[in-house]
Structure 1
Amino acid sequence: MILRNAQESVSKKCILVILLSLSYCLTATADEHSHTYEDGEEVVLWMNTVGPYHNRQETYSYFSLPFCKGPKEVIGHYHETIGEALQGVELEFSGLDISFKDPSMKKVYCSIDMSEAQYNAFTYAIKNHYWYQMYIDDLPIWGIVGEIEETGEDKNYFIWTHKKFDIGYSDNQIVEVNLTSEGKTKLVPGTTISFSYQVQWRGSSIPFQSRFDKYLDPNFFQHRIHWFSIFNSFMMVIFLVGLVTMILLRTLRKDYARYTKEAELDDIPHAYMDSEAQVGEVRKLKERDLGDEYGWKQVHGDVFRAPAHPIVFSSIIGTGCQLIFVAMVCILLAIIGDYYQQRGTLLSTAIFLYATTSPVNGYCGGALYSRLGGKEWIKQTIVGSLLFPLLISTTVIIINFVAIYYHASRAIPFTTMVIVACICLFVVLPLNLVGAILGRNLSGNADVPCRVNTVPRPIPEKKWFMEPIIIILLGGVLPFGSIFIEVYFVFTSFWAYKIYYVFGFMLLVFVILSIVTICATIVCTYFLLNAEDYRWQWTSLCSAGSIGIYVYLYSFYYYFFKTKMYGFFQTTFYFSYMALFSFGLSILCGTIGFIGTSVFVRKIYSDVKAE
């Protein structure tokens, strides 16, 4: 019944949802109203969700518990964005009559006759520490359903029946809301329980721009361990960049000197040698100074050979380029616009940016596929367009069945799914096609410094630690080490009751992660090429992308040792979303590593004379 009502509500407003979602992303302060009120004007109290305190994602409609509504039935506005719908926000009017600056004494707004079913529902919620969330003028308010009192072996369940709202205002704007739960009433089947509320208004010196400061936790996010992790990562960058520069320049200089000397010895004509003895001397000199041929130069005829499965490879790179752009813009907009203050804004912005930046995906993926000699460019465009959306959609549909089974508010309405599908088919795909056409025509010509041999060179045997799989697994260790502290803060803000607002830290960590990923991938690629293995494209992509493996493994540690989550619902949601997050991070970092490695490979082979 709850899901059906939500679907009907969203279906009536699907066009409004799209328009509001787009305008919501274009303006940092867009909302359903202007946050200004006239004296006596209607102030809406929205009831959102209720659920276990330790399972933040397991939320249900507030009125899924047998709470009753107030007498007021008509309100002046309704608002929902696509981001709110995807996040399980279910705003329902409380029915309470609240007017700006108009105090209200204690009023009984409804009563219920406690049946056995209602008693069981309330006691279950109290046993599982259910909390509920409300909104007044976009300011969140939390309250607890009830509490347990133990008397010997008996347990008595009490519910809070009186809500006392203390609302602070500055001029004509609401800047503060506090809730006090009172009226502790014992739950007894067959009795009548009355619910009441009270509203007090007071002037406040808090400026409107700072009204969300009370919800932030600077002691948690700006703790010295956070600063220390940033400093530690920054020192890792300096050390790693210096180490890579020193090792590679020194090694490559030796290699170049060695190959140059070999070329000079080869250029000595035998006609200028007096005897066979001198020829033998030269040969011995070459063997002593140069030894047998080996190293990265030996694969110059195969290093620019197209990788296996070029359609999938170029599609992943195109998707990664788009994710990099979306992530950077989202972080910058969040720094400028304080998106943490508005429900679903960051998710709505990400969806809007992903749709409108699809030409980036098509351009990068299409250009790369063309340079690799691909001919099925339409197939590549379709794969690149739908690769990431299909992965997300498949995972979301699976966990959506779980949410529907539990009648949870996290169940995404069918019409919202249709809206997202239409965005992918009628916005993402065409824009991706435009980008692919531009990429093929502007950057699709292969311009490699070395000629590619017709017959692939056999890959020699090498030691076990030089195998691609080992290099791939080792490639993600340093990048993960540079961000794992920040990952803890991100996890805590998403899975617990912390509001993430330090996007400046996130931007700095993102830059550090990019630098560390590039340096680590270059080192791994050089080791692979030095072992005369020219399969560097997939190796560099997977080496940098292996950070997702370590993030996902860390999510297991976080679940079992840092949270008190329980139940099939929360466990399914947690590990499914963590898999999506880890895979998206793998694509993003893998693309960064491949781009950096491509520049490095082209640089070193541009100075090698093709044989």
Structure 2
Amino acid sequence: MGLRGSVASVVLWTLWSAATPGAVVGDEHSHEYRSGEQVVVWANTVGPYHNRQETYAYFSLPFCAGGKDSIGHYHETLSEALQGVELEFSGLDVAFGEVVPPQKYCAIQLDEAKRRAFAYAVRNHYWYQMYVDDLPVWGIVGQLDQPEGDGDGDDGYIWTHKRFDIGYNGNRIVEVNLTAENKAKLATGADIPFTYEVNWKKSDIRFEDRFDKYLDPNFFQHRIHWFSIFNSFMMVIFLVGLVSMILMRTLRKDYARYSKDEDLDDLERDLGDEYGWKQVHGDVFRPVPHLAMFSSLIGTGFHLTTVTLTVIIFTIFGELYTERGSLLSTSIFIFAATSPVNGYFGGSLYARMGGRVWIKQMLLSAFLLPALVCGTAFFINFIAIYYHASRAIPIGTMIAVTCICIFVILPLTLVGTVLGRNLAGQPDFPCRINAVPRPIPEKKWFMEPGIIIMLGGILPFGSIFIEMYFIFTSFWAYKIYYVYGFMLLVFIILMIVTVCVTIVCTYFLLNAEDYRWQWTSFMAAASTSSYVYFYSIYYFIFKTKMYGLFQTTFYFGYMALFSIGLGLMCGTVGYFGTSLFVRKIYSTVKID
């Protein structure tokens, strides 16, 4: 376990703490306790059950704290601040191994404002979260006297007793359960005491396995999940075989036809019926329109693909999902550290295609994705501030994110751009580029780039849509996603399917003598993200019970970011595979 830092500290400290997440105070560093040593019970957040992301500080409800001396706590990592973690000391006196019989720790008198606050929480099924030795526990605020009641009168109850059952193995805590008991009626002027008790028991659970109880293998390892992986794998085998067979047979015929044409004299060749992808050899490597944007998208796509693969592999071996905020912290660190990948691929592509304003392209590449993410997050932040939600990002976190972008991501992207321009920035196209663009002939409607783009994402989406359900459920419902081996396999399948589909689409486009393949291949592969976003709309309407402006904005805002990121990765991989294919076929055919 490593060091933790405040989000308002300097950037290097922020990155260090983000890369080495640990615990907060005292023995939570090592999770080892001596007999009678204090165990801190943190109160985190409270919020409606059906809106998981709409959370508020625990003491935003008129709960009272225990009499134990307060312990100061700061956001431990940048990711905790971004995720709305609001740890406050509960004031409960808990010592390792010491049983606490039921006893009162505080009391409140319900005035009208407090009664209304609790009644609103009960009516909307509010739950709260606490942490004991970094293990989360949940409890429900209260219940309605009548299930059909509105909860705004004297028909609601709140639970006033917390029973902690803590399991230990040696000198470490391996299990925590919280049970809410003893309901008290909500009535103006009522005196409500809050009580708690702590029970300790020996457990055979290993410390390394203590997080397993929060996982749901019956859900994630259901036979439908296995079947979807098998189905996607069979799709890959079929698609790769089909593409290889069709293209190899077709290309062999093309090569034979073009070789025959080489044996004809000039008059016979002029009278011949020449057609196909060879005819656009002088334009197929022409620089794309909006070159700076295109190369920036490609560089960002390579960067995101690298980050995604690295984080998945680290999570498989490091089980980052067991540590609060570790997954996001690691993602932020890896994204910043691998910024040269963005500059290298984007800068080299821009240079090879004759781009001259490379600083503009480098700035666009460095800030394209951070601007999208920060812009969306800050917009949602205004709504969170209006709701006084814990998701509201503090000003110190905004400054830290800005500093990371300016002082870490930008310089590393500059280094990558310089390396890319010097090591891989020279044009190396197998064909000369004509001075005057060749006119694009008319073709059938289904061969137009727009139609190809719309159809290109169907098969890639079909290979992942089952996995999308499990990922959405883990993020928007009360599930913890832990089957990252499945995710890695599905990600590889997605990339293979995307490349195969994009190559086929590009071949048909070039065979129709349309040389606008660069943007078409990128957008055809990236269109997978549009189908994912449409599926997210279906999921929101039919699979969730979310409501309210905050949760709706949060859902669709971050699902848009997720879809954009997926589109950048698919588009980049599709373009890269297609580029290798195009270079291969034009370098094989002899062209005068």
Quote the offset at 1:149 in angstroms: 1.3
Partner of 2:392 in structure 1? 411
Question: How far apart, in 1, do the equivalents of 2:199 and 2:14 lie?
Answer: 33
Question: How far apart, in 1, do the equivalents of 2:503 and 2:565 lie?
Answer: 21
Q: 1:316-465 counterparts in 2 under 5 A?
A: 316-465=297-446
Residue 22, structure 1, aligned to residue 3, structure 2? no
Q: 1:75-114 counterparts in 2 under 5 A?
A: 75=71, 80-114=76-110
Residue 195, structure 1, aligned to residue 189, structure 2? no
Partner of 1:126 in structure 2? 122
Quote the offset at 1:292 in angstroms: 1.6
Question: How far apart, in 1, do the equivalents of 2:147 and 2:421 lie?
Answer: 76
Mapped contact 2:154–2:187 kept (Cα < 8 A): no
- For residue 264 of structure 2, give the secondary structure of its aligned residue in structure 1: helix
Mapped contact 1:24–1:345 kept (Cα < 8 A): yes
Partner of 1:135 in structure 2? 131
Quote the offset at 1:26 in angstroms: 4.5
Mapped contact 1:17–1:81 kept (Cα < 8 A): no
Quote the offset at 1:259 in angstroms: 0.9
Change (3 A) 1:17 1:41: farther
Return the match for 2:276 from 295, 300, 303: 295
Which letter does structure 1 place at the counterpart of 2:220?
F
Quote the offset at 1:152 in angstroms: 9.8
| Stretch of structure 1 that moved more, 146-155 or 439-448 | 146-155
Q: 1:188-587 counterparts in 2 under 5 A?
A: 188-266=187-265, 292-587=273-568
Partner of 1:181 in structure 2? 180
Mapped contact 2:239–2:497 kept (Cα < 8 A): yes
Mapped contact 1:301–1:610 kept (Cα < 8 A): no
Which letter does structure 2 place at the counterpart of 1:341?
T
Partner of 1:5 in structure 2? none
- For residue 91 of structure 2, give the secondary structure of its aligned residue in structure 1: coil
Mapped contact 1:86–1:412 kept (Cα < 8 A): yes
Question: How far apart, in 2, do the equivalents of 1:11 and 1:522 lie?
Answer: 48
Residue 593, structure 1, aligned to residue 587, structure 2? no
Quote the offset at 1:441 in angstroms: 0.5
Q: Quote the sequence identity (%).
A: 66
Return the match for 1:145 from 123, 141, 151: 141
Mapped contact 1:366–1:380 kept (Cα < 8 A): yes
Question: How far apart, in 2, do the equivalents of 1:326 and 1:146 lie?
Answer: 43
Q: Computing the radius of gyration over CA atoms, which structure comes out larger, 1 or 2? A: 1
* Aligned CA-pair RMSD: 2.0
> How many residues are aligned here?
584
- For residue 452 of structure 1, give the secondary structure of its aligned residue in structure 2: coil
**What runs of 5+ residues in structure 1 fail to find an aligned partner?**
1-9, 268-278
Change (3 A) 1:360 1:29: farther
What's the CA shift string for 1:312-362, capped at 9, x where partnerless? 000010001110100000000000111111111111111111111111101
Question: How far apart, in 2, do the equivalents of 1:417 and 1:406 lie?
Answer: 19
Which letter does structure 2 place at the counterpart of 1:70?
G
Mapped contact 1:17–1:82 kept (Cα < 8 A): no
Question: How far apart, in 2, do the equivalents of 1:28 and 1:505 lie?
Answer: 27
Question: How far apart, in 2, do the equivalents of 1:314 and 1:20 lie?
Answer: 30
Change (3 A) 1:166 1:107: same
Question: How far apart, in 1, do the equivalents of 2:72 and 2:5 lie?
Answer: 19
Change (3 A) 1:167 1:477: same
Question: How far apart, in 2, do the equivalents of 1:151 and 1:223 lie?
Answer: 33
Mapped contact 1:24–1:30 kept (Cα < 8 A): no
- For residue 389 of structure 2, give the secondary structure of its aligned residue in structure 1: coil
TM-score (norm 1): 0.93
Mapped contact 1:451–1:610 kept (Cα < 8 A): no
Mapped contact 1:524–1:540 kept (Cα < 8 A): yes
Mapped contact 2:526–2:571 kept (Cα < 8 A): yes
Change (3 A) 1:369 1:461: same
Quote the offset at 1:78 in angstroms: 5.3
Question: How far apart, in 2, do the equivalents of 1:77 and 1:17 lie?
Answer: 20
Which letter does structure 1 place at the counterpart of 2:19?
C
Mapped contact 1:11–1:415 kept (Cα < 8 A): no
Change (3 A) 1:82 1:190: same
What's the CA shift string for 1:488-523, capped at 9, x where partnerless? 000000000000000000000011001000000001
Residue 37, structure 1, aligned to residue 39, structure 2? no
Which letter does structure 2 place at the counterpart of 1:374?
G
- For residue 398 of structure 1, give the secondary structure of its aligned residue in structure 2: helix
Quote the offset at 1:38 in angstroms: 1.1
Question: How far apart, in 2, do the equivalents of 1:388 and 1:563 lie?
Answer: 29
Which letter does structure 1 place at the counterpart of 2:211?
F
Residue 158, structure 1, aligned to residue 157, structure 2? yes
- For residue 428 of structure 2, give the secondary structure of its aligned residue in structure 1: coil
- For residue 464 of structure 2, give the secondary structure of its aligned residue in structure 1: helix
Mapped contact 2:11–2:404 kept (Cα < 8 A): no
Change (3 A) 1:109 1:26: closer
Quote the offset at 1:77 in angstroms: 6.5
- For residue 415 of structure 1, give the secondary structure of its aligned residue in structure 2: helix
| Stretch of structure 1 that moved more, 101-110 or 470-479 | 101-110
Partner of 1:171 in structure 2? 170
Quote the offset at 1:609 in angstroms: 2.2
Question: How far apart, in 1, do the equivalents of 2:49 and 2:522 lie?
Answer: 40
Quote the offset at 1:15 in angstroms: 1.9
Residue 73, structure 1, aligned to residue 54, structure 2? no
Which letter does structure 1 place at the counterpart of 2:31?
H
Quote the offset at 1:41 in angstroms: 1.2
Question: How far apart, in 1, do the equivalents of 2:424 and 2:388 lie?
Answer: 51
Quote the offset at 1:16 in angstroms: 8.0
Quote the offset at 1:25 in angstroms: 2.1
- For residue 424 of structure 1, give the secondary structure of its aligned residue in structure 2: helix
Question: How far apart, in 2, do the equivalents of 1:221 and 1:263 lie?
Answer: 59
Change (3 A) 1:20 1:303: closer
Which letter does structure 1 place at the counterpart of 2:105?
Y
Partner of 2:48 in structure 1? 52
What's the CA shift string for 1:346-388, capped at 9, x where partnerless? 1111111111111110111111100010111111110000000
- For residue 180 of structure 1, give the secondary structure of its aligned residue in structure 2: strand
Quote the offset at 1:44 in angstroms: 0.7
Partner of 1:606 in structure 2? 587
Mapped contact 1:326–1:350 kept (Cα < 8 A): yes
- For residue 15 of structure 1, give the secondary structure of its aligned residue in structure 2: coil
Mapped contact 1:23–1:30 kept (Cα < 8 A): no
Mapped contact 2:169–2:203 kept (Cα < 8 A): yes
Question: How far apart, in 1, do the equivalents of 2:257 and 2:174 lie?
Answer: 72
Residue 64, structure 1, aligned to residue 60, structure 2? yes
Quote the offset at 1:79 in angstroms: 5.4
Which letter does structure 1 place at the counterpart of 2:41?
L
Question: How far apart, in 2, do the equivalents of 1:208 and 1:571 lie?
Answer: 39
Which letter does structure 2 place at the counterpart of 1:395?
T
